Amino acid sequence: MSSSKVIKQTITSSNSNKKYQSNILKSPANIKVDESALLSFKITKLNNKIKTLNKNISSIKQCKNALEKDFEDSKLLLLTEKWNSICKQSLNHLYNTFMIKYKSNDGYLQELENEVKFEKEKIKYQCDCSLEDEWEDIQTSKDFQLLDDWQQRELENNFKERLEKNQQFMNKELNKLDKKIEDFKQNGGEFDLKELCKKLQVDYNLIYT
Protein backbone atom coordinates (compact mmCIF):
# COMPACT_ATOMS: atom_id res chain seq x y z
CA MET A 1 0.00 0.00 0.00
CA SER A 2 1.30 3.41 -0.97
CA SER A 3 1.98 6.09 1.61
CA SER A 4 -0.71 8.38 0.19
CA LYS A 5 -3.38 5.75 0.73
CA VAL A 6 -2.25 5.17 4.30
CA ILE A 7 -2.48 8.88 5.05
CA LYS A 8 -5.96 9.07 3.53
CA GLN A 9 -7.14 6.11 5.60
CA THR A 10 -5.70 7.61 8.76
CA ILE A 11 -7.40 10.95 8.13
CA THR A 12 -10.67 9.21 7.32
CA SER A 13 -10.45 7.10 10.51
CA SER A 14 -9.66 10.16 12.62
CA ASN A 15 -12.58 12.07 11.20
CA SER A 16 -14.84 9.11 11.84
CA ASN A 17 -13.71 8.95 15.50
CA LYS A 18 -14.30 12.69 15.98
CA LYS A 19 -17.74 12.40 14.43
CA TYR A 20 -18.50 9.40 16.69
CA GLN A 21 -17.31 11.26 19.78
CA SER A 22 -19.34 14.30 18.77
CA ASN A 23 -22.40 12.17 18.37
CA ILE A 24 -21.81 10.62 21.80
CA LEU A 25 -21.54 14.05 23.45
CA LYS A 26 -24.72 15.15 21.74
CA SER A 27 -26.61 11.98 22.61
CA PRO A 28 -29.89 12.35 24.71
CA ALA A 29 -28.35 10.44 27.63
CA ASN A 30 -25.48 12.90 28.03
CA ILE A 31 -27.79 15.90 27.61
CA LYS A 32 -30.02 14.48 30.37
CA VAL A 33 -27.02 14.06 32.73
CA ASP A 34 -25.96 17.67 32.13
CA GLU A 35 -29.47 19.00 32.84
CA SER A 36 -29.70 16.92 36.05
CA ALA A 37 -26.33 18.22 37.29
CA LEU A 38 -27.35 21.79 36.51
CA LEU A 39 -30.68 21.35 38.31
CA SER A 40 -28.93 19.83 41.34
CA PHE A 41 -26.52 22.79 41.42
CA LYS A 42 -29.42 25.25 41.24
CA ILE A 43 -31.28 23.44 44.07
CA THR A 44 -28.16 23.48 46.27
CA LYS A 45 -27.67 27.17 45.59
CA LEU A 46 -31.34 27.86 46.35
CA ASN A 47 -31.17 25.88 49.63
CA ASN A 48 -28.17 27.92 50.71
CA LYS A 49 -30.09 31.11 50.01
CA ILE A 50 -33.06 29.79 52.02
CA LYS A 51 -30.77 28.97 54.98
CA THR A 52 -29.30 32.47 54.83
CA LEU A 53 -32.79 34.00 54.70
CA ASN A 54 -33.93 31.88 57.67
CA LYS A 55 -30.92 33.07 59.69
CA ASN A 56 -31.75 36.66 58.81
CA ILE A 57 -35.40 36.14 59.76
CA SER A 58 -34.35 34.61 63.09
CA SER A 59 -32.05 37.57 63.80
CA ILE A 60 -34.83 40.03 62.92
CA LYS A 61 -37.26 38.21 65.25
CA GLN A 62 -34.73 38.35 68.09
CA CYS A 63 -34.24 42.07 67.51
CA LYS A 64 -38.01 42.57 67.41
CA ASN A 65 -38.50 40.68 70.69
CA ALA A 66 -35.70 42.65 72.33
CA LEU A 67 -37.21 45.95 71.18
CA GLU A 68 -40.68 44.92 72.37
CA LYS A 69 -39.27 43.90 75.77
CA ASP A 70 -37.41 47.20 76.08
CA PHE A 71 -40.61 49.03 75.16
CA GLU A 72 -42.65 47.10 77.75
CA ASP A 73 -39.99 47.67 80.41
CA SER A 74 -39.91 51.36 79.56
CA LYS A 75 -43.71 51.58 79.69
CA LEU A 76 -43.78 49.72 83.02
CA LEU A 77 -41.10 52.03 84.41
CA LEU A 78 -43.12 55.09 83.38
CA LEU A 79 -46.26 53.68 85.00
CA THR A 80 -44.32 52.87 88.18
CA GLU A 81 -42.90 56.39 88.34
CA LYS A 82 -46.36 57.83 87.78
CA TRP A 83 -47.85 55.64 90.52
CA ASN A 84 -45.01 56.58 92.87
CA SER A 85 -45.53 60.28 92.21
CA ILE A 86 -49.29 60.01 92.86
CA CYS A 87 -48.66 58.11 96.12
CA LYS A 88 -46.22 60.75 97.35
CA GLN A 89 -48.60 63.58 96.50
CA SER A 90 -51.47 61.80 98.25
CA LEU A 91 -49.40 61.08 101.36
CA ASN A 92 -48.17 64.67 101.52
CA HIS A 93 -51.76 65.89 101.30
CA LEU A 94 -52.88 63.48 104.03
CA TYR A 95 -49.92 64.41 106.20
CA ASN A 96 -50.81 68.11 106.03
CA THR A 97 -54.45 67.27 106.79
CA PHE A 98 -53.51 65.20 109.86
CA MET A 99 -51.12 67.87 111.11
CA ILE A 100 -53.96 70.41 110.97
CA LYS A 101 -56.08 67.94 112.96
CA TYR A 102 -53.46 67.05 115.59
CA LYS A 103 -51.80 70.52 115.68
CA SER A 104 -48.65 68.99 117.20
CA ASN A 105 -46.86 65.71 117.93
CA ASP A 106 -48.47 65.67 121.38
CA GLY A 107 -51.86 65.86 119.73
CA TYR A 108 -51.06 62.79 117.65
CA LEU A 109 -49.76 60.94 120.73
CA GLN A 110 -53.01 61.65 122.56
CA GLU A 111 -54.98 60.38 119.56
CA LEU A 112 -52.81 57.25 119.41
CA GLU A 113 -53.31 56.54 123.12
CA ASN A 114 -57.08 56.92 122.73
CA GLU A 115 -57.09 54.50 119.78
CA VAL A 116 -55.03 51.96 121.72
CA LYS A 117 -57.31 52.25 124.73
CA PHE A 118 -60.40 51.70 122.59
CA GLU A 119 -58.85 48.67 120.85
CA LYS A 120 -57.85 47.19 124.21
CA GLU A 121 -61.37 47.47 125.57
CA LYS A 122 -62.77 45.87 122.43
CA ILE A 123 -60.33 42.94 122.63
CA LYS A 124 -60.96 42.40 126.35
CA TYR A 125 -64.71 42.41 125.84
CA GLN A 126 -64.56 39.94 122.95
CA CYS A 127 -62.16 37.58 124.74
CA ASP A 128 -63.78 37.72 128.17
CA CYS A 129 -67.39 37.36 127.18
CA SER A 130 -67.53 34.82 124.39
CA LEU A 131 -66.15 31.71 126.12
CA GLU A 132 -67.47 32.55 129.59
CA ASP A 133 -70.99 33.01 128.24
CA GLU A 134 -70.68 29.79 126.31
CA TRP A 135 -69.56 27.92 129.45
CA GLU A 136 -72.45 29.30 131.50
CA ASP A 137 -74.91 28.16 128.83
CA ILE A 138 -73.42 24.68 128.82
CA GLN A 139 -73.49 24.34 132.61
CA THR A 140 -77.17 25.23 132.78
CA SER A 141 -78.15 22.98 129.90
CA LYS A 142 -80.04 19.70 130.42
CA ASP A 143 -77.50 17.79 128.36
CA PHE A 144 -74.73 18.79 130.75
CA GLN A 145 -76.76 17.73 133.79
CA LEU A 146 -77.23 14.29 132.28
CA LEU A 147 -73.49 13.71 131.98
CA ASP A 148 -71.53 11.68 134.50
CA ASP A 149 -69.30 13.53 136.93
CA TRP A 150 -66.10 12.56 135.13
CA GLN A 151 -67.59 13.70 131.81
CA GLN A 152 -68.54 17.03 133.34
CA ARG A 153 -65.02 17.42 134.74
CA GLU A 154 -63.52 16.52 131.37
CA LEU A 155 -65.65 19.11 129.64
CA GLU A 156 -64.80 21.68 132.28
CA ASN A 157 -61.08 21.00 131.88
CA ASN A 158 -61.37 21.43 128.13
CA PHE A 159 -63.02 24.79 128.63
CA LYS A 160 -60.37 25.86 131.12
CA GLU A 161 -57.71 25.03 128.55
CA ARG A 162 -59.55 27.10 125.96
CA LEU A 163 -59.84 29.97 128.44
CA GLU A 164 -56.09 29.87 129.06
CA LYS A 165 -55.35 29.99 125.33
CA ASN A 166 -57.85 32.78 124.99
CA GLN A 167 -56.09 34.71 127.75
CA GLN A 168 -52.72 34.20 126.05
CA PHE A 169 -54.12 35.48 122.77
CA MET A 170 -55.62 38.52 124.51
CA ASN A 171 -52.33 39.36 126.23
CA LYS A 172 -50.47 39.05 122.94
CA GLU A 173 -52.85 41.46 121.20
CA LEU A 174 -52.73 43.92 124.11
CA ASN A 175 -48.92 43.88 124.00
CA LYS A 176 -49.03 44.69 120.28
CA LEU A 177 -51.14 47.75 121.04
CA ASP A 178 -48.80 48.89 123.81
CA LYS A 179 -45.88 48.50 121.41
CA LYS A 180 -47.45 51.05 119.05
CA ILE A 181 -47.04 53.77 121.67
CA GLU A 182 -43.60 52.53 122.76
CA ASP A 183 -42.31 52.51 119.16
CA PHE A 184 -43.62 56.03 118.55
CA LYS A 185 -41.84 57.37 121.63
CA GLN A 186 -38.61 55.49 120.87
CA ASN A 187 -38.57 56.92 117.31
CA GLY A 188 -38.48 60.45 118.69
CA GLY A 189 -42.18 60.96 119.27
CA GLU A 190 -42.57 62.78 115.96
CA PHE A 191 -45.53 62.39 113.65
CA ASP A 192 -43.81 62.16 110.26
CA LEU A 193 -44.47 60.42 106.95
CA LYS A 194 -43.17 57.10 108.31
CA GLU A 195 -45.61 57.27 111.20
CA LEU A 196 -48.39 58.22 108.79
CA CYS A 197 -47.62 55.15 106.66
CA LYS A 198 -47.81 52.96 109.78
CA LYS A 199 -51.17 54.47 110.63
CA LEU A 200 -52.44 53.86 107.09
CA GLN A 201 -50.79 50.40 106.93
CA VAL A 202 -48.78 51.43 103.86
CA ASP A 203 -45.23 50.24 103.13
CA TYR A 204 -43.10 53.39 103.48
CA ASN A 205 -40.05 51.81 101.81
CA LEU A 206 -42.10 50.83 98.77
CA ILE A 207 -42.81 54.50 98.04
CA TYR A 208 -39.80 56.42 99.33
CA THR A 209 -36.90 54.08 98.53
pLDDT of residue 25: 46
pLDDT of residue 90: 92
Residues 95 and 110 occupy one common structural domain: no
Residue-number span of the structural domain to which 137 is assigned: 103-208
The mean per-residue pLDDT over the stretch 69-82 comes to 84
Evaluate if residue 13 carries a pLDDT over 90: no
Residues 97 and 69 occupy one common structural domain: yes
Residues 65 and 148 occupy one common structural domain: no
The last residue of a domain, from among 54, 80, 102: 102
pLDDT of residue 113: 92
Residues 16 and 109 occupy one common structural domain: no
Across the chain, mean pLDDT equals: 80
Residues 112 and 204 occupy one common structural domain: yes
Residues 91 and 69 occupy one common structural domain: yes
The last residue of a domain, from among 69, 102, 135: 102
Evaluate if residue 8 carries a pLDDT over 50: no
Residues 123 and 187 occupy one common structural domain: yes
The sign of the CA dihedral 163, 169, 171, 174 is negative
pTM: 0.54
Domain tally, the chain: 2
Helix 105-139 and helix 149-186, axial crossing angle in degrees, nearest 10: 180
Evaluate if residue 41 carries a pLDDT over 90: no
Residue with the bigger pLDDT between 129 and 38: it is 38
